[in-house]
Structures are given as structure tokens and as C-alpha cells.
Structure 1
């Protein structure tokens, strides 16, 4: 099953996820468009270029965190993907709904997250359930 078929979930944890959370090489079409649209780069592009992926799902599913993610039921958002989305959300001071929309339509965010241009996003409610209390809005 491709990511497009899981449009509401996003990169997921499990066997059918994209490179265990969407990390790895940035798709060529995403990289090419990002360079044309932002020839000077953006903070997101510069960070991804300098540091590569900030984390992997293995950072969350091994060691002391092993067992926190069940293999049963509907797969959830990749924890590595969610980490970077949350960092971007905090950096840009966006609400959950705005953040989900930004993942779907901002080329620099797709670049930072290693997503293809055809990635349609996920439902904003996926952020609410995992949002730290310092980020929640009344």
C-alpha cells in the first residue's frame, strides 16, 4: 500500500511505512522544486541539508521505549515524523490544523520531512492526541 492510499495517516510506523517514517533520501522531484522555489533555501531546507534526518523510528522503538508502540491495530504516525512536525509547528507557532495543512502544502516542509510532492497530508487530530501541554491552545 502506498502513502497516497494512507493519506489521512501520513508516514506510519510499521512494515508498510516509507523508509521507516519517511526518512532517507529526499525525493528528486521534491528536491528539484524546493531548489527552484527557494534558491536561497529556508530554515527547514538548511537544517535538513546540514543534519539529515533528525531521528529514526528506531530511536523510539528500541531500548527504553521498546514496547510503547503496538503492532496491533491501525498504524499511527511515525514517531520520528511526528517529532519533526512538532518542531516545525513550535518554530512557526501554528495550531494543529494549520500544521497539518503546512505539511500538505509547504514545499520546504516536505523537503525537511523527506516527502514526495504527491503527499496529501494527515488529519490534524493526529497532532492533538500527542501534543505536549505547552503547545495546546485553548
Structure 2
């Protein structure tokens, strides 16, 4: 039961934040492009990230096919590492958000097998005793 709560709280929290960022990209594309430019990324990534983030959220929530969901977790993992790195090196505030989201993504990934079936490969069974 604990594993399911950890999984759903962490998954819905990071998916909600990513959905909010998609909304921001769509409602304020100029501001989003300026934010990307401030941390050193090209502005054209904003339109690309809309589709990538939507696909990632859907893959994690649907988990069919399972390999695609794991690829989405990997994408979120690397996106958050790059976001942290970009904020720290550019001096733009906001790296704290990437740290919190990183923890949520890791918790979601670690607890997914105990909370939902079928089990994903390469996920340690740390949460199985709390399932």
C-alpha cells in the first residue's frame, strides 16, 4: 500500500508540473523562449519540448508499451540533470525545482513495479515489501 501511495503521489506530482510547463510554453511562447535563452539553450527547443513532454507524460501514465515508459523516465532523468546544470552554470535561479522533480522522478521509477504491473526490467525491488 505504501508503495502505491509513493508511486501515485510522485508520478502525479511530476506529471502535473510538466503539464504546467507545457501550458506555459503554449500560453507564453515568447517568455518561454526568453527563459530558454537565459540559461543558454536555443529558443526553438520550446516548440519541440511541448511535444516531447506530452509524449513523456502519456508514456509514463499509460505504460503501454512498457519500454516506451522506461524511455520516458530516462528522458525526464536527463532533462532534469540538464536543467539543473543549465541553471547553476548560468546563475539563473530555479535549480531547486529541478532537484525536487528529480527526486520525484526517481521515486516514481523505483516504486513503479510494486504499484503497477507488469514489472519493468532493471528496476530494483526496494518497494516490493511495501506493496
Do both share a fold (TM > 0.5)? no
TM-score (structure 1 length as normaliser): 0.34
Larger radius of gyration: 2
User: Which protein is richer in helix relative to its size?
Assistant: 2
